[in-house]
Structure 1
């Protein structure tokens, strides 16, 4: 068995919380919440809420008269989310699948899903569920990466490109869904109001290795025969010596019902 390159696979809840706490994570999340125009008394749905990263901010915006519903299918994530929101009024954390949302039709004023559609079985079906759940006039926020845009600076540009190709083709289920968000939203019956693209930039190699899974995914690509072992390990060693640069595009779409 080959040794694993880079940082070990992190606990998923810790990974999500750490990614959200970075400068890029805080910026696009705050921007999306502002564009959603969440008001006091609203009922807000967070699909794929994970460890409850955004639930406290949503609860603050809806006030005492509003309701925040977090939905996730992972029970360990749900446990983190419930602990994170303990004592917050009007917050419910529900076990459920994004393809079969556990909410009544036409009851949601605002909804969001953040880096979830790239993992689900059928993004279009999830958007249909959001259309069913939301009221006329509701606003919905969607945010997803486009992993085809992942660039990693290295002298061996060929291996950097091979790494991105592997990430897009094998490592992520719907790796390019970010570019398709506006089209999928319109096909689901929503009216697209805003489309934004941001570019998270990584200059710190350990942080990039943790967040982007550079070593972990490189090892998988080597094991799958997509990248030469010697060349891949030399590429990774060179990255760790710095200076380092990597980035990708994150697409955010806000639409209305």
Structure 2
């Protein structure tokens, strides 16, 4: 996503959130937070504010939702979406240096952010600093090394998957969450490995970038057009099956 424009990134995040897959795992993540009215909760890397209203609905007017993002464009869009909503604050900041006081938040949420950051371990230490005693963190991250696309041309599917994983800064962060959380002083309470399954081409293409990433792989010399074109034709004709594992980890301060 790093090469997409701000508008493209917003569209991508909105699309992912509205798929059945996105709605399901986001619901699970919010349930795992065990939010209560009056809680103070931070959404780390809140992006365009996709989930801020959902969180605010639970903590209600006497609670507080703080959305933090390093991208001013994302915060501007988030501000537009939560305009006039009481109990929601937006702050410009980086996950490695959160603009929040020690022991100031009851809950923290991270959704597909650590795969992009420079130092996930330091980021989790910073989240631990901000959480109050008995606070709860819920983090969801994919493991891009588990990406699989079913096709008779297994070699092309494997090279495509490796290419996609190679474009992510921290492609195996999902499987590393338990270890890094423990090192940050967080107590892991539960781990879910969610199989994110795609069974239609359009959704898989929007989320996995079947067309755009295979074209990039050809341009990079990792795949050939002679392999990619019949591969894409078969995937388009279906039936399609692709999957990646998403880890949902709940930890306590």
Q: TM-score, normalised by structure 2?
A: 0.95
198-207 or 152-161: bigger deviation: 198-207
Q: 2-side partners of 1:173 and 1:56: how far apart?
A: 29
Report SS of the residue matched to 2:101: coil
**What is the match of residue 212 of structure 1?**
208
**What is the match of residue 134 of structure 1?**
131
By how many angstroms is 1:9 displaced? 11
With over 3 angstroms needed to count, the CA separation of the structure-2 counterparts of 1:164 and 1:10, relative to structure 1, is farther
1:11 equivalent to 2:8? Answer yes
1:256 equivalent to 2:247? Answer no
Alignment of 1:85-100 (within 5 A): 85-100=82-97
The question of whether the paired residues in 2 share the 8 Å contact of 1:9 and 1:216 is answered with no
Alignment of 1:169-248 (within 5 A): 170-248=166-244
The question of whether the paired residues in 1 share the 8 Å contact of 2:63 and 2:87 is answered with yes
Alignment of 1:1-150 (within 5 A): 11-150=8-147
The question of whether the paired residues in 2 share the 8 Å contact of 1:171 and 1:217 is answered with no
Q: 2-side partners of 1:220 and 1:87: how far apart?
A: 42
Q: What is the aligned length?
A: 249
Q: 1-side partners of 2:244 and 2:204: how far apart?
A: 11
By how many angstroms is 1:228 displaced? 2.1
Q: 2-side partners of 1:173 and 1:212: how far apart?
A: 16
Provide runs of 4+ in structure 1 moved above 6 Å.
none
Q: TM-score, normalised by structure 1?
A: 0.93
CA deviation string 1:135-191 (max 9, x = no partner): 1110000100111111111111110011111112x2111111001111110110000
By how many angstroms is 1:56 displaced? 0.4
Alignment of 1:153-168 (within 5 A): 153-168=150-165
Name stretches of at least 5 consecutive residues in structure 1 with no aligned partner. 1-7
* Structural RMSD (CA): 1.5
Q: 2-side partners of 1:191 and 1:21: how far apart?
A: 31
**What is the match of residue 4 of structure 1?**
none
Name stretches of at least 5 consecutive residues in structure 2 with no aligned partner. none
